[in-house]
Every structure is written in C-alpha cells, then in structure tokens.
Amino acid sequence: MIAADKVASDVASHFDRMKSEGCSFADARLYDEDSSQRLVLYDGNLESNTSSIERGLGVRVLKDGAWGFAATADLAAVAACFDRALSNARAAAHLPGFPKDMGLPQPTTGSYRSPVQKDPFEVPLAEKLAFLKGIDATLEDKTIAQRIVWAAFQRRKIIYWNTEGTEVDRWVSNVFATMMAMAPDKDGRTHRRSVELHGDGTGTRGWEWLTEPKWFSGHADRIKSELAEVLAADPLPPGRRDLIILPGQGFLQVHETIGHALELDRILGYELSYAGGSHVRPEMIGKLRYGSEKLNCRAGKHQNSPGTFGFDDEGTPQRDYMLIDGGVLVNVLSSRTDLGEANELAGREVFTESGSAARATSFYRTPIDRMTNISIDPGNDGTLDDIIAATEDGIIVDVPVSWSIGSNREHFHFGTEIAWEVRDGKKTRVHKNPTYQGHTLEFWRSLDMVGDQSTWCLQQVANCGKGEPNQVMQLGHGVPVLRFKNVQTGEKE
Amino acid sequence: MLESRIRDLLLAARKEALNRGLNAEFSLHRERSNLIRLGNSSVALSTYEELTRLDVSVQDGRKVGSYGLTADITSEGQLLEALERAAENCSAALPKDYDPIFAQVEEAIDDSSGFDPELESLSAEAKTALCKQVVDGLKPKGKYDFSGSWSSGSAEMYMTSTANENEAYRHLTDSRFVMVLKEQDKKWELSVERTAKALGAFSAEDVVAEFATLLPVYEGNQPYATETGRLRVLFGPQAIAQLLSLALWGGFFGRTWEEKRSYTAGNKPGDKLFSELVTIVDDPSHPDVFGMPFDFNGLRRRPFTVVERGVFKALLYDSMAAAKYKKRPTGHDLSNTDFVLSPGTGEPGIAGGLDAAGDALYIPHLHYIHMPDPTKGLFTGSSRFNAIRVQGGRFTQPMVSTRVTDTSPSVFSNITTMSSRSVSQNESNTYGRREPEAMSVPEWMLCDNVRITDVADSF
Ligand SMILES: [Zn+2]
C-alpha cells in the first residue's frame, strides 16, 4: 500500500507541474481511509451485514476559468490522474462561460477530529448486533407486522492539499440509526412510526451516542404505542388549519424548502438538468422576505452533527453564519468558486467570502455546494405545551412518509407518519394519513410561533442526493417546534 | 471477458475459499466514466473516474456476511483479505429465521455485445464541441441559458461463486445527454434528452431541431395555470417512465406484496388491475433497454411478464424475499432492470398524441415523484420541462408547475390510447456505480381523469 506521505510528495510535485502548465489553482483530496458499515435487521433477520473500504485520490485543476476533475484508486498513478484532470479542464475551456475563480488565496493549515469517545469501528460486530437485536426485541409485538432496525457507521480520514499551500487533515465520523414499526389498519393500509438517532447538537458522536437511550433506543415503546393510536384513528379530514411541526418533520421542511433553495449552484442554474433550480436569485440577498420575522435560519457549527466537519473540501474553515435573519434572506450556501458570478448577477457585492459549503461525498466525486447544518434558531414562544395551549384549531405532525417538491423549491407536498389534532388549546386525538402542502414563501411567512430551546432538536440526514455524477451527502438540521397559520392539510378526495 | 490479470486473481480467491470450505461469492464492477457539466451556457466542469469495486459475500448456513473494497486490484493478498473480512462478518452474524439462497451462476455468460470502444473513449473535447454547436445554434435566437450534462463511459460487471465453475460477465457502454434551455426573464425551461449505446446516435442538429419545435409555443404565448380537478393528460416519455417505476415499486415487489404493503395486496395473479392496453415485461432482450443478462444471485435473466393486457401475471422476487417466503427468485437481485411498457395503436409522433388528445395537458416530465401511500398506490409529483396546454389538438400555452396526485391503478386504468412507437427512456443514476438502466415506453400516453391537485405561480 502506498503511504500517505508518498502521495503528499507526489501531489506537491504535480502542483508545481500544473502551475507551470498555466493552471491558476489545483487541489487534491486523499481519502486515506473511507470505511463504512451497514447493519439492517428486518423482522429480526440480519438482511444487511456489510462493511466496506475505499481508498483513493481526487484531483481538481482550474485552467482558463474551467474545472477539470479526475479520480483514481491507483495511488501509483498520481501523475496520470493530474494529466487527466488537466486535459478535462482544457476541454471544458472550449465552451467558456463566466470564468470560475477562487478569489484571493487563503492558505490554511489545520486538522479536525469528530468528537468521538468510542469509535464504532472498534466495537465488535457481535456487540453491535446484540444492541440492535435488543431494540428489535422491544419492538416485537403481535400487533406489529414489520420491524426495521438499522445502523450505519462511517469513518473517513481525508487529507486535503492545494496550490495555495493549504494542508488540512480530517477524521470525520458518523453514526446513523433508525427503528421503525409497521402495521396495517382495519382497511389493510399499512402505517408506520419511526425514530432516528438524534441529539441536541452537543456531546460526542461515537458508539456512546448511539447507545444513550435518550437519543435512540429509549423511544421504542413510544413508537409502538403511537403506531397503535394511528391504526385506530380516523383519516385527517382535509381543510385549512394551523400546523405545528415537530423537529422530526421540521428538519425536512427546512431541508427541502430552505436548504436546497439556498445552494448557490442551484441558484446560478448549474443543477438545472438534474436536481433543479431555485426560486432565489442573487439580487434578492438582503431584500427577500423569505419568512415571517420569527424565522432565523443559520448555517451552524453544532458540535455533534454530520454537518460539522471542521474544514470544507476546499480547505475553508467551517463558518457559522445567518442565512435568514428576522425573515430576510441574507446569505446562501456557497463555495469559493462562484462568488464573482453571483455578485455580477446581483449587480453589487452580495458575497464576500465562501460559505464553507464545498463538499464531496467521496474521493471520486468533485466538491459542490452542499448543506452543512441548516438550522432554525430557537424562539421565544415557549414549550410545545405552550404552543399547543395557544392553538385553537390545528394539527401537530411528525416524521416524513413522503415528500415532493417543485423543481425550483417553490412549492411542496409532504405526508407524515402521524398527526395529533389540537382543539381549543388541547391535544385531542390522533389522525392517520396526514398530508400538507404549500408554497414556500407564503408558508414560511405564515410562521407565527417558534418554540424555545427545550423544543430544539438536532436531526441527522444520512442521504441527501444531488449532483452529476450523483453524490449522497450527510448533514444536520437543528429545529425547534414551529407553528404555521392556515395551512392546506389533508387530501380532498 | 474480464482482463485476465484480475480474473486470475478472482479465480485464485475462489479456489482459496473452496479450500477453506467457505461458500463465497465474488462480484466485481469496473467503470470508466466521463461527464461534462454544462451550466450557464458553458462547460463548467469535466470529470473522469476510473474505479474498480469488489464485493465478497460469505454464507454459512443461515448466516451471511459481506465486505466491499474500492481500490485498484493488484494482488491476491487484497482478495484474500476481502474474503477474510467477509468471513469474519459472517462468523459474527445473527442467523436468519429462514434458509438464505446462495448465489450460483446459472450458466456461463460472456457478453460484450453492448460495448462500443469508440463510445468508451469519447473525449470531453468532442462532447464540448457538440454542446457548443447547440449553444451557438440557439443562443442568438433569444435570451437563453443552457445547462445540462453528458455522461458517457463503460462498465464491466462480473460474478462467480464457489457453488460451481461458472462465471458471468457483462461489458457495455452507455451515454446520457441532457440539455436544458432556460429563458432568462420568463424562467421557463425546456429540455432535450438522448440515450445511446454507441457513438454517433445523435447530432447537434437533432437537438437544435427538437428545441426549435417547442420554442414558438413558449415564446409566443402566456403561461397557463390550469384549474385543479380531474383532467385529461397526455404524458410524455420521462413522465411515463416515472409512472411505470412507481407502479412497479408500489405493486409488484414480492416482499411488499407478501407483507400486504402494496396496492396489489388484495389481488393475486389472474386479477385484472389496469386497462387492457397495459402490458409490462422486464425484457433484457428488448432493443430499447441496456439488457442485463444476469442478476447478482447468478440467474440468467429472461423476459419476465408482470402485467399482460391489464391482468396481473407475476411478482418480482429477489433471492432474499424468495428465500423468506419460499418462492422462486425471478432474476431481480439487481438495480438495473429492463422494463418495457408495450406500445399502443395510436399514430406515432407527438402529432398523433395531440390529435388523440384534443384538449388536454401535455406533461412529458414529472419531477420529484413520491408515494405517500403505497397500499393505495397514491403518488404525487409535479410537472417540469416542456409542459404545454393542448387545445384542439394543438400546443397552445406553456404550463406553470402543476402537481399531479393520483394512484397508479387509476392512471393505468384510465389510459385511452398510447403511441404505437416506443422510445428508450434513460433511468440511470450514478449514486454508487455506473449501472446503466433504461425503460422502453410509448412516446406518448393519453389518460383521462388524472387528478391535478395544485398549480404553482411559476414554471
Ligand atoms: Zn437533499
């Protein structure tokens, strides 16, 4: 196996070569180790018991305003990888547009380690399986038709270098887990109730987090009993009413109608043919009323989240900054490369620095603008009980079942696992088949209550998809309880 | 057949597994992929990846463990280590409550019929040049920006197991071209797609001509926001493929049917489910699809009829569902299937669809389609590129983003006519590995009483 030191010296010599070839910038990411493991229990049967490892190098070069990227798992072939990236950049430059530009050099050195007490990869497989089997046993019941309990672990050791002298090394660890119970109602329609490993954004993210009952295993009995309530419930009648969203659903509302809409590559039209565009335009920064004045949304740096990684894949130290401040759009998710183009489109300087959101999913994918931790700040409207007490006619919804969003993120339709009716300040009964839909700006402008810190919860996203070639990314959303006025809920037919 | 350097290592590892008394399966995936990404009328990025992935599974009675490696395969040591890791995972596994089916390559397969060396080596320069021709041909005609992508490359898929001496191998090339034209002020978006298995399947002139047929409708007419309710819809190829995917996913997977979670749960083979115009076959021999000759349980894939003239014929069982529910696996241990929705008898060409439609909504693309309720087959998704109002058999106004929320059984029962000509619709994704997938669908499908539930104020 070729050691990282040898790759580093090879990369340095090829950086010099790329500069002599006229490249304005080049960078390289060595995934010295990219380990993952996925364990799935389905009705108690171990249906996935897989571990895997990837190792390789990804190289980007910027020449004449265009990017070339190449990747190889053959670390004896670093020269060929640089050659291929250079020839790709040359080809791209045959159809030039607004020149890609990294701005002023930002040489950085540093390192990052995800906070972990007990590395899940050091925990014996048998111990992991025993833990998951224990949760499965709790879910097992004659009223439950299917049970799924799964956990996935990632450990990445990444070294980043660029021609500005930046060198950053990172060990990034992730743990994801879900439990789900399913059963049919009297009409034969299957319903489900689930919970994912979540947190409060603090603490560490190793095996110790997964095994802390408060954040995962302790919810098994609750989801079982809530599923029983759903099975006995009437469907949600259609109508306009207030909508109270718990963090288990709120994270996806934020993800789909704020996060994706604020990715600069989508805003500039670079994702149109696949993921889609955005209703946001660069000139709207500082002007667009995205939501009510209760809406404060940030790209955060929570200690314990898959959206926290120290430095992005251009070596930019991760920043904590507002995206929506008092309801007004003030920033977007960006990398270094498109800021000039966005400023020109806006007709003024709306962006001065990278949003530290350049992220790649593996050594063989190039960094693109991604979500990090897109979080809503807690508000001043009290606890969940306070919000319920202040609601005359509404529902509380939790955990997505389905999601469908317009290609510019301008409208959406969500289905959730459960809804609780709220009448005259009290939770009255459960409804099944809840759905709601709306138009993004109108919806966020109808936000009228934001729960306090006691309602705020960090939800993980293990599989956000975007980009061509496709990339699956991990990120986080911290969300309090949110209340929206007069929302279209339920299905009319 | 796979390069002998790697094949010999795999066969040596298989022999070592046999010597150690292990039931082991080995599969290898190798790709060479190039993609150019077009944004704002320029090629903003060009990528190349050359990757080899090895997957090893070991089975011991009711216990199974797997290990995957993405690396350049250069030594027997790497393979033996992968085998060892899979064996360790198997050893620590929990036994299943059924007998899993061990992979066995049914017959030796060595298929490079879909490989075109010229397409494999299609350069980023050549792709950029074609995109430039399209941009140069259309950009002067309006305030247009172009984006899109063009992915091309080759994939090799190989498997063998200790169950017998057989090896299965597939080598193919594929290309997917998508170009989107966006009007800078009015913000509407048009798209043109091309799928190919070999070089030279399309030209810049074709692409320009297809955009040119749509542009007058978009340039010359006000946007249309339809009423909601049950309406007549003329679906185009990408939307049909999306509807077909959901109909299959929600209704015809053995596991979900056995667990009564599919909209067909109350039905059995022989029941009438859809309009008699509907015949659905997973047919690797069809010329419109990429045609995967084996699955990763080792079965030879043959044409497999799911629905015939509206009647439920069979369910798809992968080896896991088959083992659990004591059924025969059907060759569906793979993600790149080859589904064909048989064409109808309508006049070919979009003109035939417009004539048949009279007044309708033309929705050729459905974006972000999802099933809130698989037990009813309820889906929702919204229109995207190229959606146009049809009046009196003519395209009249571009449509703003329009949401369709209906059920698979309803849509496939309400088909009135379909084109007699089929097209290949690319359904590949590249989240993991290059595994080209296409469906063969009629170029148009006319349905009555499709439920439209929401209309946006933009395209
Ligand atoms: Zn996402």
Secondary structure in 3-state letters for B366-427: EEEEEEEECCCCEEEEEECCCCEEEECCEEEEEECCEEEEEEHHHHHHCEEEEECCEEEEEC
Q: Residue B72 and residue A73: Cβ atoms within 8 Å?
A: yes
Residues A175, A296 share a domain? no
- Please tell me if residue A238 touches chain B, with a CB cutoff of 8 Å: no
Question: Sign of the C-alpha dihedral, residues B286, B381, A334, A175?
Answer: negative
Mark A57-78 as b/e (b = at least 16 C-beta within 10 Å).
bbbbbbbebbbbbbbbbbbebb
Give the DSSP H or E segment for A170. Answer: strand A167-184
Name the B residues in 402-441 with CB < 8 Å from any A CB: 403, 405, 429-431
| Nearest CA distance, A327 vs chain B (angstrom) | 21
Distance in Å, CA A256 to ligand 1 centroid = 6
CA distance A148 to A45: 9
Closest Cα partner for B305 from B270, B255, B333? B270
pLDDT of res. B201:
83
Instruction: Kindly give, in sequence order, each residue whose CB lies less than 8 Å from that of residue A207, ignoring residues fewer than 6 positions away.
Output: A117, A118, A119, A120, A123, A175
CA distance B351 to A451: 56
CA distance A339 to A345: 10
Q: Residue A45 and residue B97: Cβ atoms within 8 Å?
A: yes
State how beta strands B438-442 and B402-407 pair. unpaired
Q: Residue A88 and residue B135: Cβ atoms within 8 Å?
A: no
CA distance A140 to B444: 47
Q: Residue B64 and residue A272: Cβ atoms within 8 Å?
A: no
CA distance B294 to B272: 30
Closest Cα partner for A475 from A465, A484, A485? A465
Residues A223, A241 share a domain? no
CA distance B120 to B351: 36
The number of domains in chain A is: 2
Distance in Å, CA A360 to ligand 1 centroid = 14
pLDDT digits (tens, 9 = 90+) for B379-416: 999 998 999 999 999 999 999 999 999 999 999 999 99
- Please tell me if residue A95 touches chain B, with a CB cutoff of 8 Å: yes
Whole-model pTM: value is: 0.95
Closest residue in chain A to residue B43, using alpha carbons only:
A92
Burial grade of A109 (CB within 10 A; 0-12, 13-18, 19 or more): exposed
B-chain residues near A279 (CB < 8 A): 458
Give residue B139's pLDDT band: very low, low, confident or very high (50, 70, 90). confident
Phi-psi region of A156 (alpha: psi -120 to 50; beta: other; left: phi over 0): beta
Distance in Å, CA B381 to ligand 1 centroid = 16
- Please tell me if residue B36 touches chain A, with a CB cutoff of 8 Å: yes
- Please tell me if residue B183 touches chain A, with a CB cutoff of 8 Å: no
- Please tell me if residue A490 touches chain B, with a CB cutoff of 8 Å: no
- Return the percent helix, strand and coil in chain A, to nearest 5: 25, 40, 35
Residues A244, A223 share a domain? no
Helical spans, DSSP H, in A335-374? 339-346
The domain locations on chain B are: 4-220, 229-455
B-chain residues near A269 (CB < 8 A): 39-40, 145, 147, 182
Give residue A275's pLDDT band: very low, low, confident or very high (50, 70, 90). confident
Instruction: Answer whether B353's CB lies under 8 Å from B447's CB.
Output: no
Under 8 Å CB pairs connecting chains A and B tally to: 282
Q: Residue A413 and residue B320: Cβ atoms within 8 Å?
A: no
Residues A242, A198 share a domain? no
Closest Cα partner for A424 from A384, A387, A390, A392? A392
pLDDT digits (tens, 9 = 90+) for B31-62: 999 999 998 888 888 999 999 999 999 999 99
Instruction: At A163, list the tokens.
Output: 């021609």
Instruction: Answer whether B103's CB lies under 8 Å from B162's CB.
Output: no
pLDDT digits (tens, 9 = 90+) for A283-300: 999 999 999 999 999 999
Question: Sign of the C-alpha dihedral, residues B127, B128, B129, B134?
Answer: positive
Residues A154, A281 share a domain? no
Residues A411, A320 share a domain? yes
- Please tell me if residue A143 touches chain B, with a CB cutoff of 8 Å: no
Q: State the average pLDDT for chain B.
A: 95
Instruction: Answer whether A297's CB lies under 8 Å from A327's CB.
Output: no
pLDDT digits (tens, 9 = 90+) for B69-97: 998 888 899 999 999 999 999 999 999 99
Q: Residue A214: which CATH number?
A: 3.30.2290.10
B-chain residues near A72 (CB < 8 A): 49-50, 72
State the residue range of the domain holding A360: 235-489
> For residue A249, which amino acid is it?
Q
Burial grade of B124 (CB within 10 A; 0-12, 13-18, 19 or more): buried
Distance in Å, CA B101 to ligand 1 centroid = 36
Give residue A341's pLDDT band: very low, low, confident or very high (50, 70, 90). very high
Distance in Å, CA B371 to ligand 1 centroid = 17
Instruction: Answer whether A285's CB lies under 8 Å from A350's CB.
Output: yes
Distance in Å, CA A476 to ligand 1 centroid = 11
Give residue B429's pLDDT band: very low, low, confident or very high (50, 70, 90). confident
Q: Residue A491 and residue B405: Cβ atoms within 8 Å?
A: yes
Residues A457, A411 share a domain? yes
* Options 3.20.20.220, 3.30.300.10, 3.30.2290.10, 3.10.20.310; CATH of B4-220: 3.30.2290.10
Instruction: Answer whether A429's CB lies under 8 Å from A418's CB.
Output: no
Q: Which of A232, A266, A291 is the last residue of a domain?
A: A232
Instruction: At B425, list the tokens.
Output: 């619709």
pLDDT of res. A361:
96
Q: Residue B35 and residue A469: Cβ atoms within 8 Å?
A: yes
What number of other Cβ atoms are within 10 A of residue A296's Cβ? 18
Using DSSP, state whether A349 is helix, strand or coil: coil
B-chain residues near A145 (CB < 8 A): 259-260
Name the A residues in 373-402 with CB < 8 Å from any B CB: 401-402
As a whole-number percent, the residues of chain A with pLDDT over 90 amount to: 92
B-chain residues near A408 (CB < 8 A): 401, 458-459
Burial grade of B143 (CB within 10 A; 0-12, 13-18, 19 or more): exposed
Residues A390, A274 share a domain? yes
Could you tell me the CA-to-CA distances from B71 to A2, A362, B425 in Å, in that order?
A: 12, 13, 32
Give residue A493's pLDDT band: very low, low, confident or very high (50, 70, 90). low
Q: Is the pLDDT of residue A46 over 80?
A: yes
Q: Read out DSSP for A2-65?
A: --HHHHHHHHHHHHHHHHHTT-SEEEEEEEEEEEEEEEEEETTEEEEEEEEEEEEEEEEEEETT
Burial grade of A260 (CB within 10 A; 0-12, 13-18, 19 or more): buried
3-state SS, one letter per residue, for chain B = CCCHHHHHHHHHHHHHHHHCCCEEEEEEEEEEEEEEEEECCEEEEEEEEEEEEEEEEEEECCEEEEEEEECCCCCHHHHHHHHHHHHHHHHHCCCCCCCCCCCCCCCCEEEEEECCHHHHCCCHHHHHHHHHHHHHHHHHHCCEEEEEEEEEEEEEEEEEECCCCCEEEEEEEEEEEEEEEEECCCCCEEEEEEEECCCCCCCHHHHHHHHHHHHHHHHHCCCECCCCEEEEEEECHHHHHHHHHHHHHHHCEHHHHHCCCCCCCCCCCCCECCCCCCCEEECCCCCCCCCCCECCCCCECCCEEEEECCEECCCECCHHHHHHHCCCCCCCCCCCCCEEECCCCECCCHHHHHHHHCCEEEECCEEEEEEEECCCCEEEEEECCCCEEEECCEEEEEECCEEEEEEHHHHHHCEEEEECCEEEEECCCCCCCCCCCEEEEECCEEEEEEEEEEECCCC
Helical spans, DSSP H, in A410-477? 440-445
Q: Residue A269 and residue B145: Cβ atoms within 8 Å?
A: yes
Instruction: At A283, list the tokens.
Output: 């000139």
From the list A52, A97, A269, the residue facing B68 with the nearest CB is: A52
User: What are the two backbone dihedrals, phi and then psi, of residue B292, each rounded to the nearest 5 degrees?
Assistant: -80, 120
Residues A314, A216 share a domain? no
Q: State the average pLDDT for chain A.
A: 96
Could you tell me the CA-to-CA distances from A287 to A290, A293, A324, A325, B326 in Å, in that order?
A: 9, 13, 11, 11, 62
B-chain residues near A55 (CB < 8 A): 70-71
pLDDT digits (tens, 9 = 90+) for A175-198: 999 999 999 999 888 999 999 999
Residues A172, A297 share a domain? no
pLDDT of res. B41:
87
- DSSP summary character for residue A314: T
Closest residue in chain A to residue B97, using alpha carbons only:
A45
Distance in Å, CA B145 to ligand 1 centroid = 25
Using DSSP, state whether A219 is helix, strand or coil: helix
| Nearest CA distance, B437 vs chain A (angstrom) | 15
Q: Which of A200, A217, A232 is the last residue of a domain?
A: A232
Mean pLDDT, residues B349-355:
96
Give the DSSP H or E segment for A477. Answer: strand A471-479
A-chain residues near B96 (CB < 8 A): 45-47
- ω before A469 within 30° of 0 (cis)? yes
As a whole-number percent, the residues of chain A with pLDDT over 70 amount to: 100
Give residue A473's pLDDT band: very low, low, confident or very high (50, 70, 90). very high
Q: Residue A408 and residue B458: Cβ atoms within 8 Å?
A: yes
Mean pLDDT, residues B153-164:
97
Mean pLDDT, residues B169-195:
94
B-chain residues near A70 (CB < 8 A): 47-49
- Please tell me if residue B69 touches chain A, with a CB cutoff of 8 Å: yes
| Nearest CA distance, A454 vs chain B (angstrom) | 31
Residues A353, A417 share a domain? yes
The alpha carbon torsion through B449, B450, B451, B456 (nearest 10 deg) reads: -130
| Nearest CA distance, B27 vs chain A (angstrom) | 14
Distance in Å, CA A79 to ligand 1 centroid = 35
From the list B94, B429, B457, the residue facing A129 with the nearest CB is: B94
Question: Sign of the C-alpha dihedral, residues A210, A213, A215, A218?
Answer: positive
Q: Residue A54 and residue B71: Cβ atoms within 8 Å?
A: yes
Q: Which of A232, A251, A270 is the last residue of a domain?
A: A232
State how beta strands B360-363 and B339-341 pair. unpaired
Name the B residues in 315-374 with CB < 8 Å from any A CB: 320, 324, 367-374
Give residue B244's pLDDT band: very low, low, confident or very high (50, 70, 90). very high
A-chain residues near B63 (CB < 8 A): 46
Distance in Å, CA A19 to ligand 1 centroid = 36
Q: Residue B70 and residue A145: Cβ atoms within 8 Å?
A: no
- Please tell me if residue A127 touches chain B, with a CB cutoff of 8 Å: no
pLDDT of res. B167:
98
Q: Is the pLDDT of residue A492 over 80?
A: no
